[in-house]
Structure formats: C-alpha cells, structure tokens
C-alpha cells in the first residue's frame, strides 16, 4: 500500500466522497472514522454524520476528546492517552460488495490549516479495509444492556418459573379462588385492557375481558365472550405481525406486537398487545392472557416525526440543489464546478494524469434573444445543454457559468494525448451546437467558440485555468469574426 502526501483540503474532499458512497450503499454498510481531536467535529460534520446515521447500518467515530456517544446514533469510545489511533484521520467504509479506506496522519507542518500536509493512503483492497475496520470497531465501547438502556435482558430460569407460578395463581383466581374479589377489583381498576383466552376450547374463545378492554374495543363483554379475538382485525391490520403472534402462540411463547385494530363503530386504534401463556401443572398451555394498551398517539407522533424528517431531508436536498445547480439547465453552477474541478486537479497531480478545460461561448445567441424573446432564448440554452451532455462521458464535468457560457472539464486524460483528445471533444461539441434548432415553430441556429487549457501544461488553480481558457475562447471568436 503506497503512501502519498496531500494538503488537508484534498483529504476533506476524499472523506466526503467516501461518505456519499456509504449513503448509496444503505443499511448494509458500516462506517468507522477517526478525528484528530473533538474540535474537528464541526457543525457541517455533524450534519453529514446525521445523514449517515439515517442511511447506513452502523456509524462509529473515535477521536481525542470525543465521548462514547459523540452524536445521536454514532458510537465511540474513550481513547487511552497512549492509543496510536489518536491523531489519525481515518474513514473506513465496508459493505458486502464495496470496501474502501482513507488512512492518514498529520505531518504537523506549518501554514494555513487547509494547506497542512498529511501522509495518506487510499485503498480499496478488501483485506486491508477489513483489518482497518476491525482495528477501529474493536475500540468501540459496547452498549450496556439492561432496563436502563431500554434493552431487555434474556429471561432467567427463575423469571420463567415465577411467571408460570403467577399465571397459575391468576388462572385459579379467575375461576373462583379466594383471591377472586381482589383480582376482579384490580383488573377493573387498570387502564390496560386485559383478556383471557381458553386454549382448550375450539377456536380459542375469550373467557374474560375487563372494563378497560370494553372501552378500548367499543364492545360490551357479553358481546365478545365466547368469540375469537380476531374480530379486532381489519383489512389494514398488518398480516405479518398477526402471523408472528400466531406462531408464538402455537409455540407457547410470549409475544408483543403493535397492531392496528378496529372498534365496533368503525374507528381504528393502535394496540400494543402483549400475550403470555398460562401453564397448568402438567406443563400444557391452557390459557393465554392478553394485555392491550392504546398507543395511537405515540404511533401517530412517530409517523408525524418520520414525515417531518422526510420533509426536512427533501428541503435540505432542494437547498443543496439550488446552491449547486443552474435552475434553467439542471447543470452544475460555477461554484459546484469549481469544487469538482479542484478535486480533479488534485487527483491528476497525484496520479500523473491530465485535465482539460473547454470554455464555450455561444455565437449568435444575443440575436435569438432580440428577435424571439428571452423565453425562446431559455429554450435554446436548455436544448444546447442537453446536446453538450450527450457528447460527453459520464465522468466528464459540464457546467453553465451563466448567460450563454458553458465549461467542460475532461479529467483522467493521458498527458501525451490530452490535447488531441480535448480537440476531438471540442469539435464534437461544436458540431452538436451548430445543428438547426426548432424553437416555437421557427428553425434557427447558433454557433460556439471554444477556448482550451490543459493541466499540467498550463499549471495553475481553477480560477487561473478558467481565465486562460476564457482568453483563448475570445481569441478564437475574434479570429472567426
């Protein structure tokens, strides 16, 4: 695994690319990351990791000063002072069909923060990624089990024995034992619906319902005793949940589900239903006790929260789209193009490749606006954008800078043939643009002038390369005129 050096700004972009890939993989993906210090978890980082938590299976974040739960849904740990992970910048993405790891360490040089140099490796070798994931995940603090964490511990033998004894006592009281009066008062006072089903009778009928169940179901006791409780179900009751409960009853196990039930008046309510078997002296299941709670408000609040989160996510996506997209053509705008080209330039320098920038300015477009109006001009721009996109590879970049100016970036080119390839693309683009246009029943045509700049031949940053390509475009336009 070869080590390379790059400024911090490049590592930020590489980290974001891996995070976006993880979100595309979904809940089969695990993400483990390290931060040099807690202060590097910025508000922007927090937003990105909230998105990760909502879309991938598990997210871990470790770093000096980070707590065990750095963010909601993100798991971490308290690193020891001598832990070698301190000071590292790692992003590990692992799923059944994809693996990648960015492993970096600060070289602690001087200068502006974004220009600080890191030594790093970006690998897609699965064995290496798995080892990195194990190393980081092995440090993650386990979640404590128990009632205080909302996680149910496995029942012990004494629990099961005491539960069976209690159920037997309840069964005896229900048929006339000395505790019947006290039991009846307790069942009448509870706000939870309580039912008892006799498993020994055909169709497993109800033999007892308390007043709270009558209120929940909207049916009097004399109308339901002797009937199977399936009358609570409707066509919109979750069949899978009902199937799980039936399987548990057939096996003599406890069961818990939240079901949509129907009242006698046609209204619905969400029932959090808990079933528990009553076992006789021979070990046979003779009755089932059901406890029902109306959790309609909770379920509706949860659904409203999910809907609000979906709306928020859609709004954020729309805001991001508006921030980075030209609304007329749907192409990248200048800001997004500059970011993408900068990343392409860094990749090219690291990999010994070339990048070509083509600056396009339409010829004769002002005449279209003057003669046919700006609405027709917008149609022309949208049509031209589609034609340009059709001439490019999926990996090529296309942007509308504004007005009738477009920029194309071709990256990953062989430096020896980059100028020739860029020239061929420029010719194809010019041919596509010059084809006649049908706008509102009128046939018209426009041309295009192209300026070309290459990196590393024309070394410089994004703004410098764009200015040089713009100047060469105007030189081309002047020669044609």
Report pLDDT digits (tens) over 311-350.
888 888 778 777 788 989 999 998 889 888 988 998 888 8
CA neighbor of 463 nearest in space, from 322, 334, 350: 334
Question: Which CATH architecture fits 334-480?
Answer: 2-Layer Sandwich (3.30)
Q: Specify the pLDDT at position 149.
A: 38
- Pairwise CA distance, residues 64 & 34, whole Å: 9
- pLDDT band at residue 103 using 50, 70 and 90 as cut-offs: very high
DSSP 83-121: -TTTTEEEEEEEETTEEEEEEEEE----S-GGG-EEEEE
CA neighbor of 419 nearest in space, from 457, 465, 390: 457
Per-residue pLDDT for 98 more than 80?
A: yes
- Pairwise CA distance, residues 356 & 451, whole Å: 10
Per-residue pLDDT for 110 more than 90?
A: no
Per-residue pLDDT for 111 more than 80?
A: no
Higher-confidence position of 418 and 151: 418
Query: What would the two tokens of residue 142 be?
Result: 């386990």
Task: Enumerate the domain spans of the chain.
Answer: 4-137, 157-298, 334-480
CATH class of 4-137: alpha beta
Query: What would the two tokens of residue 152 be?
Result: 């149910």
Share of the chain above pLDDT 90, in %: 35
- Pairwise CA distance, residues 103 & 116, whole Å: 16
For the ranges 73-77, 227-231, 354-358, the maximum mean pLDDT occurs at 354-358
Q: How large is the average pLDDT for residues 68-87?
A: 87
DSSP 277-318: EEE-TTS-EEEEEEEEEE-HHHHHHHHHHHHHHHHHHHHHHH
Higher-confidence position of 193 and 481: 193
Per DSSP, the three-state class of 453 is strand
DSSP 381-397: HHHHHHHHHHTS-TTSE
Phi, psi torsion values for 65, nearest 5 degrees: 90, -5
Q: Specify the pLDDT at position 479.
A: 77
Report pLDDT digits (tens) over 232-271.
988 888 889 889 999 999 999 999 999 999 988 889 999 9
Taking domain 157-298, whether its CATH number is 3.30.450.20 is answered by: yes
* Alpha-carbon dihedral angle through residues 401, 44, 123, 89, given to the nearest 10 degrees: 130
- Pairwise CA distance, residues 402 & 451, whole Å: 16
Lowest mean pLDDT among 168-172, 300-304, 394-398, 419-423: 168-172
Q: Specify the pLDDT at position 151.
A: 35
Q: How large is the average pLDDT for residues 212-217?
A: 91
* Assessment of whether the complete model's pTM goes beyond 0.75: no
Q: Specify the pLDDT at position 236.
A: 87
Cα angle for residues 446, 340, 37 (degrees, 5° grid): 165
Question: What are the CA-CA distances from residue 287 to residues 116, 163, 233, 284, 309 (Å)?
Answer: 72, 14, 21, 9, 43
Q: How large is the average pLDDT for residues 278-307?
A: 90
Contacts of 360 by beta carbon, 8 Å cutoff, 6+ apart: 388, 405, 406, 407, 408, 429, 433, 448, 449, 450, 473
- pLDDT band at residue 113 using 50, 70 and 90 as cut-offs: confident
Q: How large is the average pLDDT for residues 393-419?
A: 93
Average pLDDT of every residue of the chain: 84
Q: How large is the average pLDDT for residues 46-61?
A: 89
Q: Specify the pLDDT at position 275.
A: 92
Share of the chain above pLDDT 70, in %: 90
Omega prior to 456 cis, within 30 of 0: yes
Cα angle for residues 411, 413, 414 (degrees, 5° grid): 160
Q: How many CB atoms are closer than 10 A to CB 367?
A: 12
CB 260 within 8 A of CB 234: yes
């Amino acid at each position: 695994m070869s080590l390379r050096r790059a400024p911090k700004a490049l590592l930020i972009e590489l980290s974001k690319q891996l995070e976006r890939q993880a979100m595309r993989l979904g809940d089969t993906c695990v993400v483990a990351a390290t931060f040099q210090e807690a202060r590097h978890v910025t508000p922007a980082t927090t937003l990105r990791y909230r998105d990760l938590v909502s879309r991938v299976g598990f997210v871990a974040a470790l770093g000096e000063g980070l707590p065990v739960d750095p963010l909601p849904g993100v798991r971490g740990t308290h690193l020891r002072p001598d832990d070698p992970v301190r000071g590292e910048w790692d992003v590990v993405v692992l799923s059944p069909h994809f693996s990648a790891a960015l492993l970096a360490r600060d070289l602690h040089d001087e200068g502006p923060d974004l220009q600080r140099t890191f030594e790093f490796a970006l690998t897609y070798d699965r064995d290496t990624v798995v080892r990195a994931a194990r190393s980081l995940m092995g440090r993650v603090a386990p979640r404590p089990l128990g009632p205080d964490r909302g996680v149910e511990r496995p029942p012990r033998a004494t629990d099961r024995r005491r539960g069976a004894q209690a159920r037997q006592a309840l069964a005896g009281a229900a048929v006339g034992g000395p505790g019947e009066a006290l039991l009846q008062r307790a069942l009448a006072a509870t706000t939870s619906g309580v039912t008892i089903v006799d498993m020994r009778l055909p169709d497993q009928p109800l033999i007892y319902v308390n007043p709270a169940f009558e209120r929940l179901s909207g049916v009097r006791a004399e109308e339901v005793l002797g009937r199977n409780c399936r009358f609570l179900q409707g066509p919109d009751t979750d069949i899978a949940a009902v199937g799980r409960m039936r399987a548990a009853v057939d096996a003599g196990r406890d069961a818990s589900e939240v079901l949509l039930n129907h009242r006698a008046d046609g209204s619905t309510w969400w029932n959090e239903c808990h079933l528990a078997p009553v076992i006789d002296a021979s070990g046979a299941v003779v009755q089932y006790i059901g406890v029902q709670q109306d959790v309609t408000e909770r379920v509706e609040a949860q659904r409203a929260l999910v809907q609000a989160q979906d709306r928020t996510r859609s709004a954020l996506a729309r805001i991001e789209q508006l921030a980075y997209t030209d609304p007329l053509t749907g192409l990248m705008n200048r800001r997004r193009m500059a970011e993408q080209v900068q990343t392409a330039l860094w990749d090219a320098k690291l990999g010994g490749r070339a990048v070509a920038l083509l600056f396009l300015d339409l010829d004769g477009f002002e005449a279209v606006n003057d003669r046919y109006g700006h609405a027709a001009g917008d149609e022309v721009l949208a049509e031209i954008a589609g034609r340009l996109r059709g001439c490019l590879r999926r990996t090529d970049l296309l942007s509308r800078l504004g007005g009738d100016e477009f920029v194309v970036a071709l990256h990953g080119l062989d430096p020896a043939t980059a100028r020739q390839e860029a020239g061929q693309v420029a010719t194809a683009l010019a041919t596509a643009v010059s084809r006649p246009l049908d706008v509102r029943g009128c046939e018209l045509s426009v041309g295009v002038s192209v300026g070309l700049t290459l990196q590393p031949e024309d070394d410089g940053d994004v703004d410098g390369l764009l200015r040089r390509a713009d100047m060469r475009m105007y030189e081309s336009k002047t020669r044609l005129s």
